[in-house]
Amino acid sequence: MNIKEYMISMAVCIMAGTGILRAGYWTHETVDATGIVGSYTSIALDANGNPHISYCDYTNNDLKYAHKSGGSWTIETVDATGDVGYSTSIALDANGNPHISYSDDINADLRYVTTAIRLEYPNGGEVWHPGETQNIRWYGKGEIDIYFSSDGYNFRSLAENVSGGSYPVTVPGDITESAVIKIVRDSFPSTQDLSDGSFSIRPDIFL
């Protein structure tokens, strides 16, 4: 028994002795039984209490991710390039997107992966003019829909099923100081992002 196993067993004994541990109250599940898996685990719970787990597939030296929804588990191989998946750490953002840091042992690199999309422009404080062309820019994969709001609450579509991280749009004619752009990915895993702050649409001034 190594020191880690000893400390865990001592903790279990202490909990049992104080009446904290009740074996009948635990729900056991096998999440993944393919190969040698389960090393370097990290877990986070979403807003609905569903577990999200990052871990190492030691058989293939891959980073894997499992999440539970509706009573069933979905398992993904996130990164299978080289010798990866060690020392994982997972966190969920406000939209429930997983963000995972982990080690690339072959190159001695720290790596990061996420399913999130992030709006990069406009993100607050910009000044646009009606009829001009502006490039909406974002970070993340998958096709997205782009929506515009002149008040931050009511949105209408500017573009659908676009990809590549940048897309030109014609600035609407709404004169406002409270404009917001929203991007939405409907395909799994669905997510969205909004401008961090409002921007302005002002009429051109000709002298």
At 79-112, the pLDDT tens digits run 999 999 999 999 999 889 999 999 999 999 999 9
Q: Which of 79, 74, 24 is nearest to 46 (CA)?
A: 74
- Tell me how far apart the alpha carbons of residues 136 and 183 are, in angstroms, rounded to a whole number: 9
Q: What is the mean pLDDT of the chain?
A: 89
> Is 84 in contact with 105 (CB distance < 8 Å)?
yes
pLDDT band for position 75 (cuts 50, 70, 90): very high
pLDDT band for position 194 (cuts 50, 70, 90): very high
- Tell me how far apart the alpha carbons of residues 8 and 103 are, in angstroms, rounded to a whole number: 25
What's the whole-model pTM score? 0.75
Q: Supply the pLDDT for residue 10.
A: 42
pLDDT over threshold 70, residue 188: yes
Q: Which of 53, 58, 28, 32 is nearest to 42 (CA)?
A: 53
